[in-house]
Amino acid sequence: MTDRILEFLRNRREDGPCLVLDLDVVRENYMSFSRAMPDTRVFYAVKANPDPNVLELLAGLGSCFDTASVVEIEQVLASGASADRISFGNTIKKERDILRAYQLGVRLFAVDCEAEVEKIARAAPGSRVFCRLLCDGAGAEWPLSRKFGCDPEMAPRVLEHAHRLGLTAFGLSFHVGSQQRNPGMWDGALKTAATIFRDLAERGIVLQMVNLGGGFPTRYLKNVPAVKAYAQSITRSLHKHFGNQIPETIIEPGRGMVGNAGVIEAEVVLISKKADADKVKWVYLDIGKFNGLAETMDEMIRYPIRTAFDGDSTEPCVLAGPSCDSVDVLYEKEPYFLPVSLEIGSKVLIEGTGAYTTTYSSVGFNGFPPLKSYVI
């Protein structure tokens, strides 16, 4: 929460929930990453928040970009970054999208199987590819297990295939799970990566790069270690497993770059009880799972919520969104403590909402418009 955001909200007159994102915080986050990891290039994960102002700021600061689609590539190019600063990091791509990316100048692609390598060899000849490794995401609050990456046993074969088809077998990538609160979680993946580097070197293929992925957390209700702690732990692991032959490294922060830069202002629509004897109140907001807070799915991300009544005594509440869908409940298994004095019509501020909110908002389910966003 910054004074700039509070000042903006004081002057706002429109109705409905909105996200306000402070670019100064994004700039600080970028500087923290580049200061803590000076030898590592930053590829901002565009999906976390593709607002043109965010992309332009980061392009100006020298960031590179991790993209998942042709539209994201076009958004990055429109921000002023050149194609050599873009990675097409999605392992699941249509061949015609690979071709389109290639025509736009992109030469760095993620793969996790031989079929994807073949598409890239046909549509983007001569490009650099990195192979994504499966990573179980243990310890992460938003794990990304199973869907992306191949078993480490398979990776050398995938990269060898790329080499054989005239591509540059460039390196390896992994993602330790989003909102990863344990800086030690990169160690196991780096150990595996080093083994694959040695294995392929013996076969005459010299990999150059390790993509350390995202996973850097933002502060929600619980404290998280600073970027510096992650940098130290990762550097230690790199030395331990690669000795004096440390490869080029990149990181792909999404949440860690924009999460704490945003605050959502929302309003209490209704406070009620389901039965006289109920201990727990229901608090309904004008924002829910379908207009910005999708990451409350399975109650995985618990956002800090500020009210004008903070400091008063609190009571457990079920927190729910406004739509007529019964899955639109934010916190119920673990009720959320809110001030007893909270009233219908009260504004609430939901912190840490700069990442994975605006684009996770539906186009108009139940007539609720997509989440408004202001970048200041």
Ligand X SMILES: *Cc1c(COP(=O)(O)O)cnc(C)c1O
Structure-block tokens of residue 222: 């619980």
Least distance from C-beta 218 to ligand X, angstroms?
9
CA distance to 165, 250, 251, per residue, from 151 (Å) = 21, 21, 21
Considering only 51, 66, 112, 351, the residue that binds ligand X (CB under 6 A) is: 66
- What string marks each residue from 353 to 372 as x (binds ligand X by CB under 6 A) or -? --------------------
Instruction: With contacts defined by CB under 6 A, name the span among 53-61, 250-258, 271-279, 346-354 that binds ligand X.
Output: 250-258
Catalytic positions are: 324
**Residue number, 247 or 253, with CB nearest to ligand X:** 253
Least distance from C-beta 340 to ligand X, angstroms?
35
Residue 242 touching ligand X (CB under 6 A) = no
Instruction: With contacts defined by CB under 6 A, name the span among 149-157, 230-238, 254-262, 368-376 that binds ligand X.
Output: 254-262
3 state SS of 141: strand
Residues 199 and 216: their CA atoms lie apart, in Å, by: 29
**Residue number, 177 or 321, with CB nearest to ligand X:** 177
- What string marks each residue from 150 to 189 as x (binds ligand X by CB under 6 A) or -? -------------------------x--x-----------
Least distance from C-beta 166 to ligand X, angstroms?
25
Residues 219 and 354: their CA atoms lie apart, in Å, by: 11
DSSP category for residue 345: T
CB 352 within 8 A of CB 274: no
According to the 3-state scheme, what is the secondary structure of 297-327?
HHHCCCCCEEECCECECEEEEEEECCCCCCC
Residue 253 touching ligand X (CB under 6 A) = yes
Residues 178 and 145: their CA atoms lie apart, in Å, by: 10
**Residue number, 119 or 281, with CB nearest to ligand X:** 119
Residues 337 and 335: their CA atoms lie apart, in Å, by: 7
Residues 112 and 124: their CA atoms lie apart, in Å, by: 16
Instruction: With contacts defined by CB under 6 A, name the span among 185-193, 212-220, 271-279, 287-295 that binds ligand X.
Output: 212-220
Residue 255 touching ligand X (CB under 6 A) = yes
Least distance from C-beta 142 to ligand X, angstroms?
7
E-strand ranges in the chain read: 18-21, 40-45, 64-67, 86-88, 108-111, 128-132, 140-142, 168-173, 178-180, 209-211, 248-251, 262-272, 281-285, 305-307, 314-320, 329-339, 347-351, 372-375
Q: Which residue is nearest to ligand X (CB)?
A: 214
**Residue number, 117 or 227, with CB nearest to ligand X:** 227
Q: Which of residues 83-112 bind ligand X (CB under 6 A)?
A: 89
Considering only 215, 247, 321, 322, the residue that binds ligand X (CB under 6 A) is: 215
- What string marks each residue from 266 to 305 as x (binds ligand X by CB under 6 A) or -? ----------------------------------------
Structure-block tokens of residue 151: 């078993």
CB 17 within 8 A of CB 267: yes
Q: Which of residues 28-57 bind ligand X (CB under 6 A)?
A: 45, 47-48
**Residue number, 47 or 302, with CB nearest to ligand X:** 47
**Residue number, 50 or 254, with CB nearest to ligand X:** 254
Least distance from C-beta 221 to ligand X, angstroms?
18
CA distance to 65, 67, 150, 248, 350, per residue, from 361 (Å) = 22, 19, 31, 36, 15
What is the binding site for ligand X (CB under 6 A)?
A: 45, 47-48, 66, 89, 175, 178, 213-216, 252-256
